[in-house]
Structure 1
Amino acid sequence: MTEIPQDSLIPYDEIVQEALRAVVGRVLGQVEASRGMLPGAHHFYITFKTTAPGVNIPPELKARFPDEMTIVLQNKFWDLSVSPDGFSVSLSFNQVPAKLVVPFSAITAFVDPAVDFGLQFQAIADDDDHDELTEAGNDGSERDAASRITPSDDGSNVVSVDFGKKK
Structure 2
Amino acid sequence: MTETPDSLIPYDEIVQEALRTVVGRVLGQVEASGGMLPGQHHFYITFRTGAPGVSIPTRLKERFPEEMTIVLQNKFWDLKVEEDGFSVGLSFNQIPSTLVIPFRAITAFVDPAVDFGLQFQAVEEFDDEEHDSAENDLSHTSGETSDKPAVEPSDDGSNVVTVDFGRKK
TM-score calculated relative to the size of structure 2: 0.90
Counterparts of 2:40 and 2:65, CA distance in 1: 31
Q: Is the 8 A contact 1:25 1:82 kept in 2?
A: yes
Counterparts of 1:110 and 1:64, CA distance in 2: 21
What residue identity is the alignment partner of 1:105?
R
Would you say 1:111 and 2:110 are equivalent positions?
A: yes
Counterparts of 1:146 and 1:86, CA distance in 2: 26
Name the count of aligned residue pairs. 165
Would you say 1:78 and 2:77 are equivalent positions?
A: yes
After TM superposition, give the deviation of residue 94 of structure 1 in Å. 0.6
RMSD over aligned Cα, in angstroms? 1.7
After TM superposition, give the deviation of residue 165 of structure 1 in Å. 2.0
Q: Is the 8 A contact 1:136 1:146 kept in 2?
A: no
> Compared with structure 1, are the counterparts of its residues 153 and 89 closer, same or farther at alpha carbon in structure 2 (3 Å cutoff)?
same
SS of residue matched to 2:97: strand
After TM superposition, give the deviation of residue 74 of structure 1 in Å. 0.4
Q: Is the 8 A contact 1:32 1:82 kept in 2?
A: yes
Counterparts of 2:114 and 2:131, CA distance in 1: 18
After TM superposition, give the deviation of residue 150 of structure 1 in Å. 1.8
- After the TM superposition, which of the residue ranges 143-152 and 55-64 deviates more from structure 2? 143-152
Q: Is the 8 A contact 1:45 1:146 kept in 2?
A: no
> Compared with structure 1, are the counterparts of its residues 41 and 101 closer, same or farther at alpha carbon in structure 2 (3 Å cutoff)?
same
Counterparts of 2:148 and 2:20, CA distance in 1: 20
What residue identity is the alignment partner of 2:83?
P
After TM superposition, give the deviation of residue 145 of structure 1 in Å. 5.8
SS of residue matched to 1:16: helix
- After the TM superposition, which of the residue ranges 59-68 and 145-154 deviates more from structure 2? 145-154
TM-score calculated relative to the size of structure 1: 0.91
After TM superposition, give the deviation of residue 137 of structure 1 in Å. 3.1
Please state which structure has a larger fraction of its residues in helix.
Answer: 1
What residue identity is the alignment partner of 2:14?
I
In the other structure, the counterpart of 1:14 is 13
Equivalent positions of 1:1-167 (< 5 A) are 3-130=2-129, 134-141=132-139, 144=146, 146-147=148-149, 149-167=151-169
Instruction: For structure 2, list consecutive stretches of 5 or more residues without a partner in the other structure.
Output: none
SS of residue matched to 1:26: helix
